[in-house]
């Protein structure tokens, strides 16, 4: 794929190098030439210095032929404008923008963009670890309303049927791991203490499940 990464800070450099390592054609754009020092020495993609919001720079970066663009500058306003231009003007198929300040996330959402917010996701995960919660998110989609959560089956649930423990109208169990074997479980199948479940659900229903697990842990 032809992929443009706009912004060569720590995140941009990591994304660019990871994609380059997978064999994709990468162009990295930044207004500060010194930012390219964040790239590993063996990076062999293209680098382009210039004002990332000017049409000339975007055309030189190959946006007309791009299959994907990541806007990961430290400016939420710049990322929003870049994402909008890429999607609407140049019809780039895959566009993702980085949210730098969680308070400005609504700005990205107003344009209907795919947004990644490392600050929000990181803060939520740190909070879960600090509190020792029995249920934690391993993936969150979009604004984080829906996610996939990991939990360990408590002793009180041993031998019970999955669909009775986690009703399908609220929870979708996408994987069950027992020992070193993982499978897509049947709703009518029993679980064992120590099984690891990956559950798709909303944040609200995840909170309700977390409270249930906390209560079991204290009993």
Same domain, 101 and 29: yes
pLDDT of res. 175: 95
Q: What is the domain-level CATH number for residue 66?
A: 3.40.50.720
pLDDT of res. 24: 96
Q: What is the domain-level CATH number for residue 197?
A: 3.30.70.1450
Domain's final residue, options 81, 116, 151: 116
pLDDT of res. 63: 96
> Which among 163, 150, 164 has a CA at the least distance from the CA of 195?
150
Give the total number of structural domains in the chain: 2
Same domain, 133 and 86: no
- Model pTM score: 0.66
pLDDT of res. 164: 92
Has residue 38 got a pLDDT over 80? Answer: yes
Domain's final residue, options 64, 93, 116: 116
Same domain, 129 and 99: no
Q: Half-sphere exposure of 158 toward its Cβ, with a 13 Å CA cutoff?
A: 5
> Which among 10, 35, 11, 39 has a CA at the least distance from the CA of 98?
11
Question: What band does 131 get if pLDDT is binned at 50, 70 and 90?
Answer: low
Same domain, 129 and 172: yes
Domain's final residue, options 116, 151, 174: 116
Has residue 129 got a pLDDT over 80? Answer: no
Mean pLDDT is highest, among 19-33, 92-106, 205-219, for 19-33
Same domain, 104 and 131: no
Question: What band does 126 get if pLDDT is binned at 50, 70 and 90?
Answer: confident
Q: Half-sphere exposure of 195 toward its Cβ, with a 13 Å CA cutoff?
A: 25
Q: How many CB atoms lie within 10 A of CB 208?
A: 12
Q: Which domain holds residue 43?
A: 2-116
């Amino acid at each position: 794929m032809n992929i443009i990464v706009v912004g060569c800070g720590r995140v941009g450099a990591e994304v660019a190098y990871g994609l380059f390592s997978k064999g994709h054609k990468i162009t990295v754009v930044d207004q500060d030439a010194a930012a390219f020092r964040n790239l590993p020495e063996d990076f062999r993609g293209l680098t382009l210095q210039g004002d990332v919001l000017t049409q000339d720079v975007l055309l030189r970066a190959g946006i007309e032929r791009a299959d994907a663009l990541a806007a990961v500058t430290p400016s939420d306003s710049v990322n929003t404008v870049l994402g909008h231009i890429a999607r609407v003007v140049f019809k780039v198929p895959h566009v993702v923008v980085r949210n730098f300040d969680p308070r400005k996330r609504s700005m990205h959402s107003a344009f209907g963009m795919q947004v990644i917010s490392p600050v929000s996701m990181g803060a939520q995960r740190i909070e879960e670890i600090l509190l020792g919660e029995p249920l934690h998110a391993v993936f969150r989609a979009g604004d984080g309303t829906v996610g996939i959560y990991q939990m360990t089956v408590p002793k009180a649930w041993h031998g019970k049927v999955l669909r009775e423990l986690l009703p399908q109208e609220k929870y979708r169990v996408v994987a069950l791991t027992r020992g070193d074997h993982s499978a897509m479980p049947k709703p009518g199948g029993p679980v064992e203490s120590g099984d690891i479940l990956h559950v798709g659900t909303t944040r609200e229903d995840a909170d309700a499940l977390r409270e249930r697990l906390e209560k079991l842990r204290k009993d």
